[in-house]
Structure 1
Amino acid sequence: MTINQQQNEIIEEFADIDDWMDRYAYIIDLGNALPPIDEKYRTPEYLIEGCQSRAWLHAALTPDGKIEFTADSDAIIVKGIISMLVKVLSGHTPDEIMDSDLYFIDRIGLSEHLSPTRSNGLAALVKQMKLYAVAYKAKIDSSK
């Protein structure tokens, strides 16, 4: 499934939920379903700078040249947002991740319902995911 197909799937999931309290509950459910990050990645090295709450992100390059993300947060809403980003970006190549336009955040109305500090944290998380893609692309290119 492409990044845009994943985003469209999330947009469709939210389309039937009108009330924002119900949307928050759904985001929390998504976070609760997020596989736990390995404890060895719950360290300052993997902490996302700029997040109001604590959020950790780890990326690994698979043998077929795709990036798999694992992440976690100590805040339930943040964990839900992270789970959507992981769902959309995991399993894609560095180029696909670098070129992605994450429009689902606006389309589900999330950006207008986040506090400024949460918006900053979301931006920091997306930036870090794209930086991992840049780093892994450089690693792939240098090994050719």
Structure 2
Amino acid sequence: MTMSNLPNKEKLIRNFSRCHDWEEKYLYIIELGAQLPALTAQQRHPNNLINGCQSQVWIEMTLAEDGTVLFAGDSDAAIVKGLVVMVFSLYQHLLPQQIIKLDIKSFFADLELSQHLTPGRSQGLEAMVRTIRARAECLCMQTNV
């Protein structure tokens, strides 16, 4: 899976709803993470490390020529890696200002994800979202949008 082949929000919801129980849903999340392209050593720079996650999580955000944000990421934990893919799926093809405005908490609430993640993973997920929004704000300032 390249980052351009990420499932969209509707496909994620559809696939998630086809899982019969939480064991299958966790397996689906792990499967998503396994398809994440590997990061280069340069992308694993400390500046891309997310604070507030128990696992190590790297997220790199760059602007495409059309002004949308491109994502690259990785984690040392299989489920967290899948959560990274889910977050990227929600934010793909958006402009920085759209990322700032998008409320993805309702998406995760619809999937009942927060009830089934450990408190540490839930906090890590929130840390990822906070960091992505903050970095999107920086990208807006850099481009004077």
TM-score normalised according to structure 2 size: 0.89
Instruction: Please say if 1:134 is aligned against 2:137.
Output: yes
Residue of structure 2 in register with 1:14 after alignment: 16
- Is residue 26 of structure 2 the alignment partner of residue 24 of structure 1? yes
Contact 1:55/1:74, CA 8 A, preserved across alignment? yes
Displacement after TM superposition at 1:56 (Å) = 0.4
Q: Residue 71 of structure 2: SS of its match in structure 1?
A: strand
- Which 5+ residue runs of structure 2 have no aligned equivalent? 1-6
Q: Distance in 2 between matches of 1:56 and 1:19?
A: 29
CA distance in 1, matches of 2:47, 2:144: 25
Corresponding residue pairs, total: 138
Q: CA deviation at 1:110?
A: 1.0
For the pair 1:120 / 2:123, whether they are aligned, the reply is yes
Structure 1 residue ranges (4+ consecutive) displaced by more than 3 angstroms after TM superposition: none
Name structure 1 gaps, 5 residues minimum. none
Q: Following superposition of structure 1 onto structure 2, how do residues 10-89 of structure 1 map, counting pairs within 5 Å?
A: 10-89=12-91
Identify the residue that residue 3 of structure 2 maps to in structure 1.
none
Q: Percent identity?
A: 36
What residue number does 2:107 align with?
104
Q: CA deviation at 1:18?
A: 2.2
TM-score where L is the length of structure 1 = 0.90
Q: After alignment, is 115-124 or 6-15 more displaced?
A: 6-15
